[in-house]
Structure 1
Amino acid sequence: MKNAQKLLVPVLETLGVRGYVAPARWAARAAEEVATVDNTHRAPGGVIDVPSRLLMGPGPANAHPRILAAQCLPLLGHMHPPFLKIMDDLSEGLRYTFQTKSKYTLMVSGTGHAGMEAAIANLVEPGDKVVVGNAGIWGERVGVLARRYQADVVEIKVPAGQTFSYEALKQTLTEHKPAVLFLCQGESSTGTHQSLAGLGELCRQTGTLLLVDTVCSLGGVPLFADQWGVDCIYSGSQKCLSGPPGASPFFMSERAMEKLQRRKTPPATYNLDMNLIGDYWGWFGKRSYHHTAPVSTFYAMREALALVAEEGLEAMWARHQELHHRLWDGLRGLGLKPFVEKDEDRLITVNTIKVPEGVDWAALVKNAMDTYSLEIAGGLGPTAGKIWRVGIMGFNAKPQNVDLVLDAFKDGLKRQGKL
């Protein structure tokens, strides 16, 4: 205790307090706080070591070198004018990528799940009826999330590998007249591509907002937010846009914003309240602090969207389509078959392949990683153990990458005596 008092005296003297004698309880507290650093669980030193791998699963995909380089730029303050200009560039780039004239575009600070929750939290009030198209794990999760926000969820399902027909959706909307209809354009757990044709007009007839998940489809397949009458979209940064995980492209139509503005109760989340986040992004004519944006990630996504604009959406969509065909020409030559039976339902960015009877799918995946440093994924949710998933997305959508995937499948099947 005497030692603790000796520690306190010099500090107090620097503040002009001399001859001070600390109360016993203060000296005891100081003695407790004088401790030895425990180095047992200290983080390892040295330079981080990250292996080089070709990520040809359902995401993340490898990032373009220009996107990686952008993350090395000096940090700016999240309210500095040069950084606000980068946010403006992001909004404009998203308008092109979503094909919308709406000013309500931004990057949610967080992964696609954050975008998903932002959409539900802002569009849905307690008691609102929400029709959720469950064609795989992402529809399932939206249903769970909507219930947590006290929505009256009507869940419609199709078997894994199938999509919803226009007629079935029309019947459901006519019957329930929900506040929101959710569909996943690219269901990565099953490899299906949901058509959105005519659904925007159908939703307007029933006073319904059309919410679409484009996490693994944005940039890889056609999307026309305005022409198709979509009201809200969230996506991911790490798939066809070739960025790092951590940002979710987000869009709202005027109809969606009107629903948000006339809510009887505020969104049950402060972190993802688009009234507040939109204010930070300048949606309402001013800029107010809401949170510290992931500065380096936004640098990366600014470059990602610039690359989309430089290539052009039509060329980008065509590139993904061409390499999808290249992959399947090779897979069929190995005797492999698609999980999704109908060509029009097949997602070109996340390709799902049936595991033949008697083949150890996990052994093939392991051999691809061990031999080629190549990621090929297995199934997820309803397709676990039944399929392989191969991503053809963004920077990774190149002939040489597809050819390496085919080499890995050929080698893996040969090792199991199937070729």
Structure 2
Amino acid sequence: MPPELDSLLFGEIDPPQRLLMGPGPINAHPRVLRAMSADLLGQFDPEMTGFMNQIMALYRPIFGTQNQWTMLIDGTARAGIEAALVSMVAPGDTVLVVNFGRFGLLLTEILTRIGARIETVDVPWGEVVPMETIAAAIERTSPRLVATIHGDTSTTMAQPLEGLGDLCKAAGALSYVDATATIGGMELAADRWGVDVVSGGLQKCLGGPSGSAPITISDRAAEHIFSRRHTEAGIRMDGLSDGKGPRIGSNYFDLAMIMDYWSEKRLNHHTEATSMLYAARECARVALGEGLKARFARHASAGAAMTAGLRAMGLTVFGDDAHRMTNVTGVYIPNSVDGEAVRKAMRELFEIEIGTAFGPLQGKIWRLGAMGYNAMKHKVLLTLAALEACLRMEGYALPMGEAVPAAIEAWG
């Protein structure tokens, strides 16, 4: 080996076996990791396109939809968000963002880059936006699109969405929901809600790695998206445009082109991320094999147990109980405690990771997750016991031995 290369080589990757009990990502299900090790296929191999069709069928019940256009965007959950927004919104369009946390602010940041005219309806972090407030904002702003988050992990709140689609349709608006943090852990009901586009990610309740973004698109939204094609004749087989007509701001995130790729046309757009498709497929198989109702109940039990255990320690849980996400719980850091010292001790002594916070909550709360493969009773109990020990080491006086029994009782 040339000596100049020797110093650039590192050992084989051997990460610590941490229990990821923060707001995500979480530990991937072993079945998903095994699926990712399967052999690669060419993107137009009949076996591969067959897997793509299976993905479409598998994710329809997970999204709660019959939408034909249910597929994957290659990239992290944010790729799904950006593909949806850049494909539905043109510069100058008015977009109403229902904002109750960090990820509502992300929507506004992406929309600013698109050149949209942004209106927002806001509430303090820890609350959700009442539907009547959204209705008034729609009437006031006449938006082309209404965009919101289902569960915002920054605040641990889940926005109610019943009736949102009807409000939007009555106003002639499209609707978009980012369900990254809830897909596979809380009910999604795209058809019942009447929302047009919903996107998600694998790395939270679905128990997979980050890198693939499931998405579902209504026929109404698809018609709008296809109307923004690069040419009236459609996309050429080489995926290039002749420069005529309107174009969206991204080639990679052009949903019209991606939808043609996932259709029976199989028009070339990009090389499919095969291993991530395998992961997404297995995530869906695991979820549907468990049964969605049972899966949602398991996440609800895990969240209830985590909340009960934290309160049994004498800690104050953040936010509105009525609208708390089942899979992420925020808890105030006691005034006398160094929050980062506790997180470090959790990580170094117990190999458990819990989350810090964003924006106005930074340094004020921890965020503890129990989702996907980690929404298990023993993992919640281990996390609570470790947190109790680390708080004690920091000199915080708390009722010892109360958290685990409280969590067991709350699990039911």
TM-score of the superposition, structure 2-length normalised?
Answer: 0.90
Unaligned runs of 5+ in 1: 1-36
Map of 1:14-413 to 2, 5 A cutoff? 39-40=4-5, 43-263=8-228, 265-282=246-263, 285-340=264-319, 342-413=320-391
Shift of 1:41: 7.6
* AA partner of residue 278 (structure 1): M
CA contact (8 A) 1:233 1:252 kept: yes
Q: 1:338-361 CA deviation, whole Å, 9 max, x = no partner? A: 110x22221111111111221111
Shift of 1:42: 5.8
Q: SS of the residue aligned with 2:85?
A: helix
Unaligned runs of 5+ in 2: 229-244, 398-412
Shift of 1:43: 3.8
* AA partner of residue 286 (structure 1): K
* AA partner of residue 273 (structure 1): D
Shift of 1:156: 2.3
**1: CA distance, partners of 2:46 / 2:5:** 44
**1: CA distance, partners of 2:194 / 2:69:** 15
* AA partner of residue 126 (structure 2): G
Deviates more, 1:238-247 or 1:374-383: 374-383
**1: CA distance, partners of 2:3 / 2:396:** 56
CA contact (8 A) 1:53 1:374 kept: yes
Q: 1:117-149 CA deviation, whole Å, 9 max, x = no partner? A: 101111101111001122111111110111111
**2: CA distance, partners of 1:256 / 1:336:** 45
Q: SS of the residue aligned with 2:330?
A: strand
Q: SS of the residue aligned with 1:39?
A: helix
Q: 1:16-47 CA deviation, whole Å, 9 max, x = no partner? A: xxxxxxxxxxxxxxxxxxxxx78258642543
* AA partner of residue 395 (structure 1): Y
Shift of 1:77: 1.1
CA contact (8 A) 1:193 1:344 kept: no
* AA partner of residue 274 (structure 1): L
Partner of 1:34: none
CA contact (8 A) 1:100 1:226 kept: yes
1:416 matched to 2:394? The reply is yes
Q: SS of the residue aligned with 2:284?
A: helix
Q: SS of the residue aligned with 2:204?
A: coil
**2: CA distance, partners of 1:336 / 1:214:** 29
**2: CA distance, partners of 1:113 / 1:329:** 32
- The alignment-based identity, stated in percent, is 38
**2: CA distance, partners of 1:329 / 1:238:** 25
**2: CA distance, partners of 1:258 / 1:280:** 16
Shift of 1:155: 2.1
Divergent runs of 4+, >4 A = none
CA contact (8 A) 1:79 1:289 kept: no
**2: CA distance, partners of 1:47 / 1:343:** 45
Shift of 1:48: 2.1
* AA partner of residue 252 (structure 1): I
**2: CA distance, partners of 1:120 / 1:46:** 41
* AA partner of residue 250 (structure 1): I
* AA partner of residue 240 (structure 1): C
Q: 1:316-339 CA deviation, whole Å, 9 max, x = no partner? A: 100000111111111111001111
CA contact (8 A) 1:136 1:382 kept: no
Q: SS of the residue aligned with 1:73?
A: coil
Q: SS of the residue aligned with 1:404?
A: helix
Q: Which has the larger radius of gyration?
A: 1
* AA partner of residue 369 (structure 1): R
CA contact (8 A) 1:134 1:158 kept: yes
TM-score of the superposition, structure 1-length normalised?
Answer: 0.88
